[in-house]
Amino acid sequence: MTSAPPQTTTITIRPFQYRDLDAIARLTAETCVEESNHLTELGKQLLQLRRWYGALKCLSLFPNPLQHFFSTYVAEQASRLCGMIQVSPFNRTRSTWRVDRVMVGQLLADSGNQTLAMDVGSQLLRYCFQAIWEARTWLIEVNVNDKETLALYRQNGFQTLATLTYWSIAPEQLQVLSEREPDLPNLLPISNADASLLHQLDTVSMPPIVRQVFDRHVIDFKTGLVRAVFSTLKHWVKHTETASGYVFEPQRKAAIGYFQIELCRDGSQPHTAQLTVHPAYTWLYPELLAQMARVAKDLPPQSLHLVSADYQPEREEYLEQIGAFRIEHTLMMSRSVWHKIRESRFALEGLQLSEVLQSFQPARKPVPGRFSLLNSLRPLSRHPASADSSNASSKLDGSVHTRLDNGNGAGKVTPPDLSEDA
């Protein structure tokens, strides 16, 4: 006799509400005990959310750049919050979304019911896959030592896309780099007019599979009015400022290097930088790092954090050469949702009419040939009208011969009167 499998406790998943802030704070304290950095970051975000919840709630009601600033869903078990997932769009077209974090707390163990933490996490992920209809690809980043989270993502279809390494450059090393004058004659400031150049550089600097998952467009490198105002408020609250620039190649009419560094003015947190270099111009790494070091020279001494991927061996080699040390290894994983691809828009929009109607196209240009009058007139003899024309011609010939015979061969030939026939 086989026993029936245990029934799973009902889990209810719904969007985040203001009354869930205290429960999320408690859940964060339970799940992020060992990761103090993540706990501090999420605690600051929850504190800001308490202040600006009303404004963000109003902005989420209509399309705008801040509509999905805090897209969060919670899982409830017996009216008790037991899980949370936070997602955000990765690009402007919202074709790729990113899972920022998944947290599952302690579950209630009732008699006859059994619920695993991985089951709750899977339900949260699948709810987002179905609820967010715009997303065609999902992207996550997880620490290589977080075995439970890795198992959760792999169970739900995520596959490894790249390996990321986070580096830290000490303040002393930044001081050494700032003493050298960088050789960047074509270093230009960034504006919305340079979006196409930056998009081209971003496309060239990554493998095709990563480029397909990111699905970035020119609009991703433009800054609108709302986003600029929000960025200014963010820098004012966090006491930071941003410096950026790109290197222009006049012969190729293209951008070959780009950097953006977020500087901390009060020294409370390290500087963070984004660096993109064309694969054919790897000599730009020491020049751009020297430029960033000179920008941060007048601020309080602080370390600089930046990231490198496994498809950027020249960057990792140079960072090891200058004495930077690794602080974290993460895996970037992705999952496609193929049933959400619209065939009428994405699969058929590139087809031309000549490709669709290939059978109607001539194999080669027609060659002009000889035109025969007799061959073109022969089919007319089979037409009923050809009989009338033959009778008329016979009458014409007969009348002519009659007039010739009556004149004994010397009379004037006059045309016959065809008024009666007409």
**Last residue of some domain: 277, 298, 332?**
332
Do 222 and 129 have their domain in common?
Answer: no
pLDDT (0 to 100) of residue 405: 47
Do 29 and 72 have their domain in common?
Answer: yes
Instruction: Indicate the DSSP class of residue 113.
Output: B
Do 197 and 301 have their domain in common?
Answer: yes
pLDDT (0 to 100) of residue 406: 47
Do 295 and 182 have their domain in common?
Answer: yes
pLDDT (0 to 100) of residue 354: 52
Please report, for the domain that includes residue 37, its CATH number.
3.40.630.30
Amino acid, single-letter form, for residue 29: A
Based on the structure, what is the number of domains in the chain? Answer: 2
Q: Which residues contact 135 (CB under 8 A, 6 or more apart)?
A: 94, 95, 96, 97, 128, 129, 337, 340
Phi-psi group of 408: left, alpha or beta (phi > 0 → left; psi -120 to 50 → alpha; rest → beta): left
pLDDT (0 to 100) of residue 26: 81
Q: How many residues does the chain have?
A: 422
Q: Let me know if residue 123 belongs to a domain.
A: yes
Q: Let me know if residue 55 belongs to a domain.
A: yes
- DSSP per-residue letters across 7-37: BPPP-EEEE--GGGHHHHHHHHHHH-SS-HH
Place of tokens 């969060």: 72
pLDDT (0 to 100) of residue 413: 47
pLDDT (0 to 100) of residue 422: 38
Record the pTM: 0.72
pLDDT (0 to 100) of residue 107: 62
pLDDT (0 to 100) of residue 307: 96
Residues of the chain with pLDDT under 70: 1-9, 31-57, 59-67, 106-115, 338-422
Do 213 and 109 have their domain in common?
Answer: no
Q: Which of 118, 117, 124, 56 is nearest to 84 (CA)?
A: 124
Do 102 and 244 have their domain in common?
Answer: no
Q: Let me know if residue 397 belongs to a domain.
A: no
For residues 230-248, b (16+ Cβ closer than 10 Å) or e, as one string?
eeeeeeeebebeebbbbbb
Do 17 and 102 have their domain in common?
Answer: yes
pLDDT (0 to 100) of residue 420: 45
pLDDT (0 to 100) of residue 117: 76
**Last residue of some domain: 332, 365, 398?**
332
pLDDT (0 to 100) of residue 20: 81
For residues 73-111, b (16+ Cβ closer than 10 Å) or e, as one string?
bbbbbeeebbbbbbbebbbbebbbbbbbbbbbbebeeee
Q: Let me know if residue 371 belongs to a domain.
A: no
What is the C-alpha to C-alpha distance for residues 146 and 148, in angstroms, rounded to an integer? 6
Q: Let me know if residue 399 belongs to a domain.
A: no
Residue 89: domain span: 7-135
Q: Let me know if residue 418 belongs to a domain.
A: no
Q: Which residues contact 287 (CB under 8 A, 6 or more apart)?
A: 182, 183, 184, 257
pLDDT (0 to 100) of residue 352: 53
